[in-house]
Amino acid sequence: MSIAPYLKEIGRGHAGARALDVAQSTDLMRQVLDGTATDLEVGGFALAMRIKGETCDELVGFSRALEPHLACVPSDKPVLVIPSYNGARRLPNLTPLLAMAMARRGARVLVHGPRRDPTRVTSAEVFAALGLPACDGAAAVHAAWRRGEPAHVPTDVLSPALQHLLDVRWVVGLRNSGHTMAKLIAPVAGAPVLRLASHTHPEFGRLMGEFAQATGASMMLLRGTEGEPVADPRRCPRMDLWLNGRLDDAMGCPPQDGPLVELPALPREITAASTAAYTQAVIAGTQSLPAPIERQAGLLAQALAQLQSAHAG
């Protein structure tokens, strides 16, 4: 078996490439994740999809193929799942701060992403600086939840096959569809999942909305801070909430307009140590949680409460 027939369809360039349907996409990604596709084929797939861009049907198919390769964590309560795959370049990575703020509100929070990135400061590094070790399985996740802490699970623990696809980036020099898939996974069994999904381009945001509608997903969608799914601490972005595949206009918020009146007191450095110290200060109450992140946390708490009510009923 080979993915060559699919490469002929998707590899015709931006203008000539043809989209795959759900069944074709599922079969293609199954071969990539199972390891039956050759390294050369996987590289060709990564570059072809990078040029063409994914459709909603392709993302649905890719996600279906990934499901058997996910180590899901059982839960009897809704879980907030936060994908953290971009890290910090110029601004501090405040995804761990959002995760800790939500955990302090009583939410079960699962953050997943790479252990390290030579070009960014990852959430894993910030969590380590906070003294919160990575979870190596479901037992460690539940132990973190019992302590009232967010659980951080490295991608290589959740899905070695997905991590292998993500690592193709370091060979070809570009991100691939695996990075999009990683932001959409719901590694939880037995309870509803509320996913965070960030975008940097409006067309990608629309695609994520189509995916939520097509799959009946519950998701907060926002323009990310350097790609991280946390509200920009300086100016509140637009945030849309999808509950069970339906956009809930009452649960979102518009973008903040007008000039900035006041800037939050952010750490001067973006290192893991500096970000962790700032995060600890906010959680301890000696510094204020930036208003946009407070707003995001409030909306997420409302959505989780609705999911819990429906789940309990």
Locate the domains of the chain by residue range.
Answer: 4-69, 73-312
- Identify the pLDDT of residue 22: 98
Residues of the chain with pLDDT under 70: 260-261
CA–CA distance, 138 with 67 (Å, rounded to integer): 17
What is the residue whose two structure tokens read 């750490």? Answer: 267
Q: Which helix (H) or strand (E) holds 70?
A: none
- Identify the pLDDT of residue 209: 95
Q: Would you say 5 and 12 are in contact if contact means Cβ atoms under 8 Å apart?
A: no
Query: CATH number for the 73-312 domain, one of 3.30.70.920, 3.10.620.30, 3.40.1030.10, 3.30.2320.30?
Result: 3.40.1030.10
Per DSSP, which regions of the chain are E strands?
73-74, 79-83, 108-113, 151-154, 188-189, 193-199, 218-223, 239-243, 246-247
Of 241, 69, 88, 85, residue with least CA distance to 152:
85
What is the assigned CATH class of domain 4-69?
mainly alpha
pLDDT tens sequence across 58-77: 999 999 999 999 999 999 99
Interhelix angle 95-104/291-312, rounded to 10 degrees, is 50
State pTM to two decimals. 0.96
- Identify the pLDDT of residue 96: 98
- Identify the pLDDT of residue 261: 64
Of 169, 156, 159, 155, residue with least CA distance to 49:
169
What is the residue whose two structure tokens read 């999942």? Answer: 193
Of 196, 211, 203, 218, residue with least CA distance to 60:
211
CA–CA distance, 19 with 61 (Å, rounded to integer): 12
- Identify the pLDDT of residue 293: 96
DSSP state, 33? H
